[in-house]
Chain A
Amino acid sequence: AAGVIQSPRHLIKEKRETATLKCYPIPRHDTVYWYQQGPGQDPQFLISFYEKMQSDKGSIPDRFSAQQFSDYHSELNMSSLELGDSALYFCASRGTGDTGELFFGEGSRLTVL
């Protein structure tokens, strides 16, 4: 069965650079969530989208932006990167009417040097 696909899996950037992470949800899933997980930390909710519209916003810095496209894939854009942005970024998706379970991608590991 198709799962949530994230790319790239690993990314190394310098401070003040820009990074873009991509997420392709499970087919027919209309809701996408982004989480940031620092070393030894719990996943922190960043932002979510339902039917291509932002549905909720968590602790996402102003330097970050995200959107969901017509094919339901989502992109997380991070600018003016800081050392503290180094983390594992998870995307998760779920479908309307499902049990509510989130299906996670394998994550994108961002390292800021």
Chain B
Amino acid sequence: QKEVEQNSGPLSVPEGAIASLNCTYSDRGSQSFFWYRQYSGKSPELIMFIYSNGDKEDGRFTAQLNKASQYVSLLIRDSQPSDSATYLCAVNRDDMRFGAGTRLTVKP
């Protein structure tokens, strides 16, 4: 089992819809959780981080964390074509480990 698993893509949503990205992790000692966005050939850039159970909202993005279920998700409201990218879930304990990423396409 991989340390960090993400829902398999690619994921395609129409413009204006909600995109839902999911991630599970295996290490119960994980302390912090990150969502990175990566455009093709570019370096990952941080979208959000979350430490505590519950929801954390930042503009159109909402991260949700459930440590009991070892589950973290990212919701993107009012999806835009510019949101089309690969989204990487990352989990940190002593070091940062990434999931395989979910490719999101937002169609105009």
List residues of A whose CB falls within 8 A of some B CB: 33, 35, 41-43, 45, 48, 55-56, 58, 88, 90, 92, 99-102, 104-107
Contacts and interface: CB of A to CB of B under 8 A. Distances in A.
Contact of B88 (A42, A58, A92, A106): A42
B98 A88 contact: no
Given A90-B44, A101-B49, 9 more contacts: A33-B95, A35-B98, A42-B101, A43-B88, A56-B95, A88-B41, A100-B34, A101-B46, A102-B34
A42 B88 CA distance: 8
B88 A48 contact: no
Interface string B22-57: 000000000110100000011111100100000000
Interface string B66-105: 0000000000000000000000101010111111110000
Contacts, number: 50
A43 B89 CA distance: 11
B43 A56 contact: no
B94 to A, nearest CB: 6
A45 B98 contact: yes
Interface residues of B, number: 21
Contacts of A58: 95
Sort A-B residue pairs by CB-CB distance and give the 6 closest, nearest first.
Answer: A104-B43, A42-B100, A100-B32, A56-B95, A43-B98, A42-B101
A45 B101 CA distance: 14
A43 B49 CA distance: 18
A79 B34 CA distance: 33
